[in-house]
Structure 1
């Protein structure tokens, strides 16, 4: 199931490939990219806190913030 990037809102958390959890910071509104901040990165903890654009194909699912 693909996440509808048009409906993502700032503050939502998404799980990316490699079990990375990220918080949506901004939705560009093109349905393909959102700005995220990494909250959890089991395979590379140095990514936690970093921000970047996330492509829709990287997202696995939406999760509720803890």
Structure 2
């Protein structure tokens, strides 16, 4: 299991639903991280907004 407390901005996450995102901010509570969604090539999605992701949505590091 991934310890969200140790995530740093810039690290890439894989979500259980197949999406990938870059950590923008770690809230420091071990439950929520703010991510920027990435496309298949690892580039930020155009027009995409940063979003909070819950720990149960995270599959691991991408």
Is TM more than 0.5 here?
yes
- Alpha-carbon distance in 1 for matches of 2:39, 2:15: 10
Structure 1 residue 17 corresponds to structure 2 residue 16:
yes
Gaps of 5+ in 1: 42-47
Name the structure with the higher helix share. 1
- Alpha-carbon distance in 2 for matches of 1:30, 1:8: 11
Which residue is equivalent to 1:30?
29
Count of residue pairs the alignment pairs up:
56
RMSD: 1.4
- Alpha-carbon distance in 1 for matches of 2:29, 2:60: 19
Structure 1 stretches of at least 4 aligned residues deviating more than 6 Å after TM superposition: none
Helix, strand or coil at the partner of 1:18: coil
